[in-house]
Amino acid sequence: MKSVCLLSAALCLALPAHAVSTVQFTPAVLNTALLFNHDPSVGPVKHSLQWIRDSTGKLQTMTEVWYDRQGCFTKVNMVDKLNGNEFHLENSAGTLRSHSGQRIAGKVNQACQITELENESGRYTLAYNARGLLETMTNRETGNVAQRFEYRHGQFPVRIRDYQNHTDNVFAYPAGNPQFLDMQMVLNNPESTVWLKQSCTYQPDGNANLCAMTTALDEHYQNAPVMMFSNHRVEYY
């Protein structure tokens, strides 16, 4: 599953076993993954299903995404039992609307960029950098930046700062590794600091298959470690 998300606190990382070249994702797919809590997929993906289970096999989070032939999402379903979140979202001709669960609304432009987003935490305007990647979310009520995404030279964020919820998440990517899911993360919030790492096996097309994720309250993963597992299924056009 995916990383920091506006709508969910579930996070996921990964470690590739055999990739030999950098996997390039389209900005539309990456931005959707950041916002709606799932790992991006490569290729002409029609439907993606991802889920997380704990060490006993109990379902914790499930995210399902449908794409059109241009790679823009048309529907997103998410059930997050960890945080008590659920939504069923549709992108219909550039208009976002949810029909059950958490209330979500917004607008999507021709580049499949969400430009306006409204949910239970507020109303936001979204801005993108020169590469088309999500850069800021600004609260439309206050005019203040609510979240900032920092990338440096890669496709994937190295830092996500949430000024509204007072969290600061820092990502580390091992040198020379072509897969973005190979990383560790430090999640800082006012109450605690959490360390997270994950390793995955990969399908020949570059998409993740089975992932193992570990979180703990110390950098050596000895204080209150928790392990979870995620699976991925992809259907292509």
Rounded mean pLDDT, 60-67: 96
pLDDT of residue 206: 80
Rounded mean pLDDT, 155-163: 92
pTM: 0.84
pLDDT of residue 181: 66
Residue 142 maps to a domain: yes
Rounded mean pLDDT, 146-171: 92
Confidence of residue 178 (pLDDT cuts 50, 70, 90): low
Q: Is the pLDDT of residue 93 over 80?
A: yes
DSSP-assigned states of every residue in the chain = --S--SS---------SS--SPPPPPHHHHHHHHHTT-----SSEEEEEEEEEETT--EEEEEEEEE-TTS-EEEEEEEETTTTEEEEEEEETTEEEEEEES--EEEE-TTS-EEEEEETTEEEEEEE-TTS-EEEEEETTT--EEEEEE-TTSSS-SEEEETTTTEEEEEE--TT---TT--EEEEE-SS-EEEEEEEEEE-TTS-EEEEEEEEESSTTS-SS-EEEEEEEEEEE-
CB atoms within 10 A of CB 112: 21
Residue 2 maps to a domain: no
Residue 214 maps to a domain: yes
**Rounded CA gap, 12 and 231, in Å?**
11
User: Rounded to the nearest 10 degrees, how much is the dihedral formed by the CA atoms of 136, 140, 144, 145?
Assistant: -10
Residue 21 maps to a domain: no
Which amino acid is located at 64 in the chain?
Answer: E
- CATH classification of the domain holding 88: 2.40.160.190
| pLDDT tens, residue by residue, 181-212 | 667 899 999 889 999 998 888 888 888 888 88
Which amino acid is located at 149 in the chain?
Answer: F
**Rounded CA gap, 122 and 167, in Å?**
17
Residue 15 maps to a domain: no
Residue 74 maps to a domain: yes
pLDDT of residue 8: 35
Domain count, the chain: 1
Domain that holds residue 62: 27-236
pLDDT of residue 175: 61
Q: Is the pLDDT of residue 156 over 50?
A: yes
Residue 13 maps to a domain: no
Rounded mean pLDDT, 165-193: 81
Rounded mean pLDDT, 119-147: 96
| pLDDT tens, residue by residue, 16-56 | 333 334 567 899 999 999 998 888 888 899 999 999 999 99
| pLDDT tens, residue by residue, 98-108 | 988 999 999 99
**Rounded CA gap, 158 and 171, in Å?**
5
Residue 101 maps to a domain: yes
